[in-house]
Structure formats: structure tokens, C-alpha cells
A and B are shown apart, each in its own frame.
Chain A
Amino acid sequence: MAQIYYEDVEVGAELPTMTKKPTTRQLVKWAGASQDWNELHYDKDAAQKGGLPNVIVQGHLTSSFLTQLVTDWMGEEGFVKKLEVKWKQFHFPGQEVLCKGKVAEKLGENTVLVDIWTEVDGTVYAPHKATVVLP
């Protein structure tokens, strides 16, 4: 895994975009691994009874896509000190979810603030922020 250093980071620099295409199989794997058995994530009938067109991607799974984006970028010597999570819209299986990020601020003491978000067809679904300590 490549290593990035604080002194090399510039405000406005983009993280390499990562693409995810969640499947219902993946949602069930996450349900089992996280022990979150909310039916809205694997039972289409239950989701439709709740007014949704289909099962929805777990918020924590969406956020984990974004933390993968950050941990891949920061390298093994980096450390995520804080994560701020917001979900604006549900993701659905089959969507092509772009995970994007941009360095928002250099905070000093080897710490950077990174804006990270998921996007489908140009619309932002889950805007997060990560505070990352770099070597």
C-alpha cells in the first residue's frame, strides 16, 4: 500500500475515485457480519410495505465504502481520528455508487480534513468528513 505524507498533501487534491455496485447478496453479507437484521435491507416485501421501491443499502455499509476510500488513500501509517457521517438519501442495490473525496483543509500537526461522499448520477447521497493524521 502506497504511503502519503502530510507535507505532500495539497488542499483541493482529490482522492482516487472508487466505484461500488452494491448487490442484495452484499447487503445480506453485511447484515450477517454486523448482526443488523433490519428487514428493510433484505426483504423487498417489508421494504415496499415501508413505502420504499426496493431494499435499501445499510447506512453503515455506505459509510464503510467511504472509509475504505480514505484508508486506501492515507496508507498504513495514517490514522482516522474522527469521522462525521451524514446520509441524505438511501442507496439501492444495483446503483453505481461513486465514492469520492477531496482534501478540504490542512489543520496543522500533521492533520487533514477530508470531505468524502457517495454520488450517483451527479447527486451527492452521503456527505461525510474524515479527520486524518498523516506521517
Chain B
Amino acid sequence: MSETVPQEALDMVGKDLVPPLTFEVEKGAIRKLAEAIDDPNPLYTDAEYAKKSKYGANIAPLLMVTTLGAPELQAALMTKIPVGPKKNGIVKGFDVEFSQPLKAGDEITVTCKVADISGKEAKMGFMINITTVREFKNQKGEVIARETMAAARW
């Protein structure tokens, strides 16, 4: 009989993979991330410049929002989904829809749900494909970004 996805894994669809986490976005953290990219955009690091921009405050490099809670997500992908004796895991890619930039002083709550789990025979063996959806809400309860990530375990 060919391999199938364990029922316990399928039962996780629709459930939280990581409990909600809240992060305060500090100006210094934005600066460090911009420096790591080597991106000199003054909107990220120059408070006076940013104050005069349409945003009124320093904003963060685009993908900083998705780094919030990312280590917790990576760990949960490897430990929280009952996939049987599969040791390997990889994030294949992700899409992010943005509705507003992440700003210095924002308090962001990240939720992470399992959206889909399916199995597929591949060159490396039977792969379990996992889709997660994370929502990033600011202190006003507005969704500022929504990420859909495709990962696999095998």
C-alpha cells in the first residue's frame, strides 16, 4: 500500500501551528535589520526624514514583518506536525500580501494556522506538503500583512 499522510497531521488543518505571539517593533531593531541588508533607505533609519514622509515615522524594510515569529514557525514545522519518521524539512517559498508598512512603535500580534496538508510521491520519497497562513495585526487590530508559506517534510 502506498504511503499516506497520517490522520493526526490532517487533523491539524485549520488549527493554530504556533500560539499567537506579540512583538514590539523598536526603532533600533529596524536599523539593525536595514544595516544587515545594507539598505541605506533613510525611511528606515533617519527619524527626521521619515517624520516628513507620508508615513510620519520610520518604517521597516518590507520583509521585517515576516521575521516576527519566524523562528517559532520554523521550529513548529519540524516538531509540531505529526508526520511520522521524517527528519527533513524545507520552506519552499511564500507569498505575502501587504496592506500597510510596519512602523517603529508598532505592536504586532502574529497568528499562524495550518491551511492545508497533502502528500505526494517525489524523487526523494513521500513528501508531506504543508501550507501555513500567518496574519500580522497591529495594535489597532488592522491586518498589515498576510503570509502564505509552502513547506515540505520528507
Contact = CB atoms under 8 A, between A and B. Distances in A.
Given A61-B37, A64-B39, A67-B61, A87 B93 contact: yes
B96 A77 contact: no
A8 to B, nearest CB: 20
Contacts of A64: 37, 39, 61-63
Give the interface size class of chain B.
20 to 34
A76 B35 CA distance: 19
Contact of B95 (A32, A68, A77, A83): A83
Contacts, number: 86
A33 B41 contact: no
Nearest to A129: B95
Residue among B36, B41, B74 with the most chain A CB within 10 A? Answer: B36
B67 A34 contact: yes
Interface residues of A, number: 33
Contacts of B32: 29, 32-33
A60 B66 contact: yes
A125 interface: no
A63 B41 contact: no
A37 B71 CA distance: 8
A99 B86 CA distance: 35
B22 to A, nearest CB: 15
Interface string A36-68: 111000000000000000000001110111011
B70 A60 contact: yes
Nearest to B34: A33
A65 B40 CA distance: 12
B38 A85 contact: no
A6 interface: no
B29 interface: yes
B126 interface: no
A80 B66 CA distance: 14
Interface string B53-92: 1100000011110110011001000000000000000011
Interface of A: 1, 20, 26, 29-30, 32-38, 59-61, 63-65, 67-68, 71-72, 76-77, 79-87
Given A35-B67, A77-B54, 16 more contacts: A30-B33, A30-B36, A32-B36, A33-B36, A33-B67, A35-B70, A36-B70, A60-B67, A61-B36, A64-B62, A67-B61, A67-B63, A68-B39, A76-B43, A80-B98, A83-B95
Interface of B: 29, 32-33, 35-39, 41, 43, 53-54, 61-64, 66-67, 70-71, 74, 91-98, 101
10 contacts: A29-B35, A34-B64, A34-B67, A34-B70, A60-B63, A60-B67, A61-B36, A61-B37, A82-B97, A86-B92
